[in-house]
A and B are shown apart, each in its own frame.
Chain A
């Protein structure tokens, strides 16, 4: 399975994603430059974290207009697997590949720390290696991770089981205390209706080796590989 990691000016988790995919998961991986249109025949596109275009205007707002994004939108439309992490999630929202928007953390501060997350849908291409309700530990690092959507959208997300990851207590309870940024419904990650586009605020690439404090992030990438293999 071949992965493509998109590089925007200001991306800063591109090398981290590349490293995990190539050196930890041993999957062929290439970089995709923002000004190109060629997706180099990849099977999964990764939109990494960072500050694409300096996050000027709004997080992800400029990146969505780059040439590569047009190709990615087409790719996703045909059922291609796309995962957006942190700033990548924000870009997916701006590009309309996922519903809703991100606003600033309620603390109005950047927050970098480990959180615990409940896997509410273990049936997706991105979480099939988890069991339903499993609690995983991943780090977050963002200024704008406060997910917002109107009531109708939230209803639809719930109905279609699109809410995949929610901030929770270590025992799995979803509480206000466990919510690090004010996100509606404690939402940390969601998929589109067709289940091939996934956005999440936590960083699985930062927690794919025990030396870094958690290897739970591997579950996300291994799920993708296994979903692709069983296709």
Chain B
């Protein structure tokens, strides 16, 4: 293969420009030459650029991700082994789940970007042989005051809805937070959960020399060219010119692809499978070959194309959606082809498995690229990026309450908190998602702290939640990581489920910035410590770096997706208070912590102080108590205290069921004991966000048993008050009709979105 010699000055400048366009450094170019023993041609340079991108190769994050605990007795497929991790549920069932980001595409084209994000994560799950049963998402936007932010939110929600609804996969849970740091760079993280029989797990690897490699699904076009390397850069003004790098999705084709793929996998004729996501054909062919320890030889001319005169470079780097790569047992091609034909999809043999460890690409038989697959995968560069604590952090962590005036009107504060978009009811969003299709949704969105899905044919339910807090992580990345895991687990536990395992999506700025890299390192360490303490190993996930705009990096935002299991659906617990006269109790305790709270942000315009500290042993104990009490059938409701603290959590339990709202009265002494009044402020008690707290309600007759259970477990348990009436009252400071609270909480987002 002749490569143009670039000796002249002019040539050197050309090479520089070429490397810049491919997001490769001079050093990386030297390594490429070493791997090949010659200079790469343009096609090969394109291949290296996407495979060595941060998005595909995890260059900066790989060494640190090794800190995460990935083993456990129930783990069937570990992180990194396949497209998604798999956890054993017993009874011949397993769950495959994963979260992924589509931040940059959604910043450019919110509808298409979010939609293809959903499409991509669904493919990751069904290529495991699993039937997708639920979607979740974690979204971050700037302030809704900005018209562009409203445009982004609208587009992202529509994109998720259009894709998920058409696929017939319910979007059952999610979280959305708003902060100016996400104005230009929203975060769109999507999680998919699938159910599979362990015996039917599919593998993403090539096997059997001579086996045919088949291309199935949509034809290849020029859309999404080099999306992986696009995702590995910061967003700039020029990003709008990157629009062809955002793919277009077609959920109808993917629905057919899903059914055909599961049908084909069930035949046993498919030995390996991988979807074509980031870096498309290049990534799927080289990764399957690399995992299987073999090579691959294919011809781009055989790839079905929907545009004319596409070059090998374009075909290899295209990120056209709804495509799959299958490695099929020799002689079974026709049977596989017929299954796809039944669903009106093409399946074409484009090449075969080889034993030489090379990715050999041809065009009409002529070799146009030849690269050792390991050079593209296992041997991709890894960077030990320098880390340094941001010098401004110490100052940001200080919080002098002397400069924070105590509110005069606590009613007003509660109403404003409930109306702040991060806390406000998200019905405007989730009612656009089909959250009931597949008829498993036992707890509707907004009704329980986690989504609950019954597992048909069993008495069991899967509970799942997704959580993260950028403000916490900005102000203490280690705590931010710990708290994200703890809250996700606590949310799952509040439904009565035992937390099982974690998937994570780590959204950070530019890893070449030592401050960002320090945040990343500390956050990963925090996640690792919490996952160990709570016995919830990490089964996989995604790292999204370069979440920056000319205004700077987003707050570091690790997002944790958690799954858990309820043994019997009859012990499912939801958020809303259920009956007049029920006792309200607090498990855990409120500490003198006001830093990093939503209260400081919304009421005092302050984003500072330290996030709440967490004692992971206490956290685990609190969760055990709530799970155990749920199993005994003692709990009528359980809700964790998070953004907005105790007062907001109380209001949410009053409001959660719009058809049956219950008031509550909390005694003065319970929420602000006399012994604390000299040393602690009332706003801390009401709006502080101390971790490891759960507000539960139960019949008065169950109080003694519950208190005893908590005591045996070393968990503080305080009687707060009583359910009843049509008002929410806390001591002498807050007393409001439910109608007023409901209005503030429910109308805030619809008003922002519909009336301007």
For window 43-59 of A, CB contacts with B under 8 Å fall at 49-51, 53-56
| Distance in Å: Cβ of B385 to nearest Cβ of chain A | 43
Candidates A15, A49, A212; contact of B441 at CB < 8 Å: A212
Judging by beta carbons under 8 Å apart, are B165 and A15 in contact?
A: no
Most buried by B among A109, A143, A205: A109
B343 at the interface (CB under 8 A from A): yes
A148 at the interface (CB under 8 A from B): no
Q: Mark A209-230, 1 if CB is under 8 A from B, else 0.
A: 1011100000000000000000
Given known pairs A9-B344, A112-B432, the reply for A16 and B252 (CB within 8 Å) is no
Candidates B251, B437, B444; contact of A54 at CB < 8 Å: B251
| Distance in Å: Cβ of B496 to nearest Cβ of chain A | 14
Candidates B259, B343, B434; contact of A112 at CB < 8 Å: B434
Q: What residues of B have a CB within 8 angstroms of the CB of A54 in the complex?
A: 166, 250-253, 255
| Distance in Å: Cβ of A31 to nearest Cβ of chain B | 12
Given known pairs A110-B161, A212-B442, the reply for A13 and B437 (CB within 8 Å) is yes
Cross-chain pair count, CB within 8 angstroms? 83
Cα–Cα distance between A179 and B162 once the two chains are bound (Å): 23
Q: Mark A12-51, 1 if CB is under 8 A from B, else 0.
A: 1101100110010000000000000000000000000111
Q: What residues of B have a CB within 8 angstroms of the CB of A51 in the complex?
A: 165-166, 168, 251-252, 255
Main secondary structure of the interface of A (DSSP, over half): mixed
Binding site for B on A (CB under 8 A): 9-10, 12-13, 15-16, 19-20, 23, 49-51, 53-56, 109-113, 139, 141, 143, 170, 203, 205-206, 209, 211-213
Q: Which size bracket describes the interface of B in this complex?
A: 20 to 34
Q: What residues of A have a CB within 8 angstroms of the CB of B435 in the complex?
A: 112
Of all chain B residues, which has the CB nearest A11?
A: B168
Given known pairs A10-B252, A54-B252, A110-B161, the reply for A212 and B166 (CB within 8 Å) is no
Given known pairs A9-B344, A10-B166, the reply for A111 and B442 (CB within 8 Å) is no
Candidates B251, B439, B444; contact of A205 at CB < 8 Å: B439
A-B contact list, 20 entries, CB within 8 Å: A9-B252, A9-B259, A10-B255, A12-B166, A13-B437, A19-B439, A19-B456, A51-B165, A54-B250, A109-B158, A110-B161, A111-B432, A112-B430, A112-B431, A141-B165, A141-B436, A205-B439, A211-B454, A212-B436, A212-B442
5 nearest CB pairs, A to B: A12-B168, A54-B252, A51-B166, A16-B439, A141-B434
Judging by beta carbons under 8 Å apart, are A139 and B255 in contact?
A: no
Judging by beta carbons under 8 Å apart, are A10 and B256 in contact?
A: yes
Q: What residues of A have a CB within 8 angstroms of the CB of B253 in the complex?
A: 54
Judging by beta carbons under 8 Å apart, are A13 and B432 in contact?
A: no
Judging by beta carbons under 8 Å apart, are A9 and B166 in contact?
A: no
Judging by beta carbons under 8 Å apart, are B436 and A206 in contact?
A: yes
| Distance in Å: Cβ of A17 to nearest Cβ of chain B | 9
Cα–Cα distance between A112 and B441 once the two chains are bound (Å): 13
Candidates A50, A113, A211; contact of B569 at CB < 8 Å: A211
Judging by beta carbons under 8 Å apart, are B456 and A56 in contact?
A: no
| Distance in Å: Cβ of B114 to nearest Cβ of chain A | 14
Most buried by A among B168, B253, B438: B168
Q: Mark B417-439, 1 if CB is under 8 A from A, else 0.
A: 00000000000001111111111
Cα–Cα distance between A205 and B444 once the two chains are bound (Å): 16
Most buried by A among B251, B434, B436: B436
Q: Mark B434-460, 1 if CB is under 8 A from A, else 0.
A: 111111011010000000001010000
Cα–Cα distance between A56 and B158 once the two chains are bound (Å): 17
| Distance in Å: Cβ of A115 to nearest Cβ of chain B | 11
Q: Mark B565-590, 1 if CB is under 8 A from A, else 0.
A: 00001000000000000000000000
| Distance in Å: Cβ of B245 to nearest Cβ of chain A | 25
Judging by beta carbons under 8 Å apart, are B436 and A53 in contact?
A: no
Cα–Cα distance between A209 and B436 once the two chains are bound (Å): 13
Cα–Cα distance between A111 and B429 once the two chains are bound (Å): 10
